[in-house]
Structure 1
Amino acid sequence: MNRLTMLLLTSLAPLSWGTTYIVTTELLPADHPLLAGLLRSLPAGLVALAIGRTLPPHGWWLKSLALGILNIGAFFPLLFLAAERLPGGVAAAVAGVQPLIVLGLGALVLRDRIRPLTATAAAVGAAGVALVVLGPAAELDIAGIIAAVGGVSATALGMILTKRWGRPSGVGPVAYAGWQLTAGGLFLLPLALAFEGLPPSIDGRAVLGYLWLGTVGGLIAYTLWFRGIQELPVIAPGLLALLSPVIATILGTLLAGETFTPVQAVGMSLVLGALVTGQLAALWRPRRGFTPSTEETLTATRP
């Protein structure tokens, strides 16, 4: 599979995650972010384990737990909390800082050289996101902003460690995603029971929302996402996170009646331009430009 095809498949993950905010605000019971994260992760993880029929080998149980907490267990409840406290476009737009975090962590952990063009693309994307945030939502909830930043920081570190540790030989992407979804779900289970419990009622709309988030936004999206992280330059999926605010803002405008201003239009244009430029820089750079540590990681992850 060539890099462009892999990039397009990986992009389906953040595209689906852009729907999380409208689904959360319109379909799910309010004030239950831990439960939402649990129902999005644990059932999907168990299904993936049943399909993959592979448990973590020796030496991978703790790694799977760490990745599951960062990518799933910490990220999901913070994401749902942000979605409940912020307008959809604003909540997703905070994800625009993720490429900058990925660049910094990639340099520290993977020893990837920060290239001027990709760094510029990440900075321009963050600036575009700032314009989106300064759009119609004049009253921004500080707790929601902190939750959104904490969530993208956790998953950025999870991305770097996913790239660093790779995938054990002979393990397919479905099983690998299942390990993390299950670990994250098990981490959330006691927290959800202790601090939230069940909502007074779960109607058909909520069931539909949980099914969408668990299947399309969970099992399918994370299988594609983790495979893309391992096969592409690490900044490529990092920049793809910018697709999430684009979709969330569009859905917030079309379905939730949120206002879309000229300032936001400029910001969205910057985000899309940064996404395209950054991907071109990441995909068309010569393979000899990889650092030895990254190249070794890529080789080790291929079954």
Structure 2
Amino acid sequence: MLSNKWMVLLVTALAPCVWGTTYVVTAELLPPGRPLLAALLRSLPAGLVLLVVVRRLPRGSWWWKALLLGALNIGVFFALLFIAAYRLPGGVAATIGAVQPLLVTVCASRWIGEKLTTKKIVLGLVGVAGVALLVLQAQARLDTVGVAAALGGALAMAAGVVLSKKWGRPGTLLTTTSWQLIGGGIVLTPLALIIEGPPPESFTAANVSGYLYLGIIGTAVAYTLWFRGIHLMPASTTAFLGLLSPLVATLCGWIVLHETLTPGQLVGAAIILATLITTGASFGTGKNRPEPSALRATATGRRRFPYIRS
């Protein structure tokens, strides 16, 4: 039987695994050239639906905190990811984005007192190397604006992860998730209209199914699990799980789009898995031990999923 710490890790890992399917869903089901519209439609409607469910608005400082966290974790992150995707090959953008665990580790040591160790730095660098082997192509080119955008996106989400850990949550996970999704949608709305123009007059059945998948599974469910992991685990441990996203994206491309896998990519995948196993083994030991009350909430009755309202 899996221990509580591994259950927390595995449940949280579902979020980046789901995000890894975004590429194939976008390529197969969504209209081309509308990444900001996709980001907007997967965040704002999901946030509003969750808000209707929880029926609770922010109070006091959480008005600006929710907007800031939504901007960092969703709005600014997606916008910069869009710029990087258009100016860089996907492999370069993914490799640069893989520095996020390192950024989270440094920010967490400064802002919330998580210990900065040589092991975390080495694992972060090894993770970047694994992603590079997995997705980086020999003919990859660099673009200054694209690189800056990719780094900016990684830094934005890293700051969002650490601040989410620092500020905690004033209500249920569904509540704070809804606020952040709406905050991200507010940031994305003017950007999508200015850069991409108004949405198409009609959508196909495939488009609708793709947006529903990304909105319900890829956003509402995935972000709730992700924020739950941030609450229960050290910020740096949560961030390392993000390395699963390019791994799953590559596997989806192989299975669904019939893309080929090279020996180098298999080595990269093995490195990523080894990095994640090593990181997971460190979780729950020493200063990385989660709060006992948090783990008990995952092991007893209905408190196992604290974000589900009674």
TM-score, reference length from structure 2: 0.84
Judged with a 3 Å threshold, the aligned counterparts in structure 2 of structure 1 residues 14 and 51 are, in CA distance, closer, same or farther, namely same
Cα distance between partner residues in 2 of 1:214 and 1:113? 35
Q: Which amino acid aligns with 2:187?
A: F
Map of 1:252 onto structure 2 = 253
Where do 1:18-167 residues align within 5 Å?
18-80=20-82, 82=84, 91-135=93-137, 138-140=139-141, 142=143, 146-167=148-169
Is the CA contact 1:41–1:218 (under 8 Å) kept in the aligned structure 2? yes
Residues in 2 aligned to 1:150 and 1:22: alpha-carbon distance in whole angstroms: 24
Q: Which moved more, 1:258-267 or 1:225-234?
A: 258-267
Return the offset for 1:220: 0.5
Instruction: Kindly provide the CA deviation profile for residues 76-99 of structure 1, in whole angstroms up to 9, marking residues without a partner as x.
Output: 233355556666666545432111
TM-score, normalised with respect to structure 1: 0.86
Partner of 2:188: 188
One-letter amino acid of the structure 2 residue matched with residue 219 of structure 1 = A
2:30 is aligned with what amino acid? L
Q: 1:15 to 1:94 in 2, by over 3 A?
A: farther
CA RMSD of aligned residues (A): 2.6
Secondary structure, aligned partner of 2:162: helix
How far 1:45 sits from its partner (Å)? 0.2
- Output one character per residue of 1:211-233: Cα deviation in whole Å (capped at 9) or x when no partner: 11111111001111111101111
Q: Determine if the alignment matches structure 1 residue 266 to structure 2 residue 245.
A: no
Measure how far apart 1:121 and its partner are.
Answer: 1.6
Count of aligned pairs: 290
Aligned amino acid, residue 11 of structure 2: L
Q: What's the offset of the Cα at 1:72?
A: 1.0
In structure 2, C-alpha distance between the alignment counterparts of 1:91 and 1:57, rounded to whole Å = 37
In the alignment, structure 1 residue 175 sits paired with structure 2 residue 204? no
Contact 1:92 1:244 in 2 (8 A): no
1: CA distance between counterparts of 2:185 and 2:278? 36
Query: Which residue type is aligned with residue 241 of structure 1?
Result: G
Asked if 2 retains the 8 angstrom alpha-carbon contact of 1:90 and 1:245, the reply is no
* Equivalent residue number for residue 298 of structure 2: none
CA 1:80–1:202 in structure 2 vs 1: closer, same or farther (change >3 Å)? farther
Mapped contact 1:21–1:80 kept (Cα < 8 A): no
Per-residue deviation, residues 225-274 of structure 1 (Å, max 9, x unmatched): 11110111111111100110110011122223433211121111111111
1:215 matched to which residue of 2?
216
Provide the residue aligned with 1:280 in structure 2. Answer: 281
Offset of 1:179 from its aligned partner?
0.2
Alpha-carbon distance in 1 for matches of 2:205, 2:92? 27
Residue type at the aligned position of 1:182: I
- Shift of the alpha carbon at 1:116? 2.6
Q: Is the 8 A contact 2:92 2:140 kept in 1?
A: no
Amino acid at match of 1:177: T
2:204 corresponds to: 203
User: Which blocks of at least 5 consecutive residues in structure 2 are unaligned?
Assistant: 295-305
1:91–1:209 CA distance, 2 compared to 1 (3 A): farther
Identity across aligned pairs (percent)?
Answer: 48
Distance of aligned partners of 1:98 and 1:152 in 2 relative to their CA distance in 1, 3 Å threshold: same
CA distance in 2, matches of 1:235, 1:244: 16
The answer for unaligned runs of 5 or more in structure 1 is none
Q: 2:12 aligns with which of 10, 13, 26?
A: 10
Tell me how far apart the structure 1 counterparts of residues 229 and 75 of structure 2 sit (CA, whole Å). 20
SS in 1 for 2:99: helix
Q: Which amino acid aligns with 1:188?
A: L
Quote how far apart the aligned CAs of 1:110 are: 1.6
Going from structure 1 to structure 2, the CA distance change for 1:214 and 1:79 (only over 3 Å counts) comes to farther
Instruction: Report the 3-state secondary structure (helix = DSSP H, G, I; strand = E; otherwise coil) of the residue aligned with 2:98.
Output: helix
Farther-moved stretch of structure 1 (146-155 vs 223-232) = 146-155
After superposition, give the CA deviation of every residue in 1:176-201 in whole Å (9 maximum; x if it has no partner): 10000011112211222233222365
In structure 2, what is the Cα distance between the partners aligned to 1:152 and 1:206? 28
Quick check: 2:127–2:271 contact (8 Å CA) kept in 1?
yes
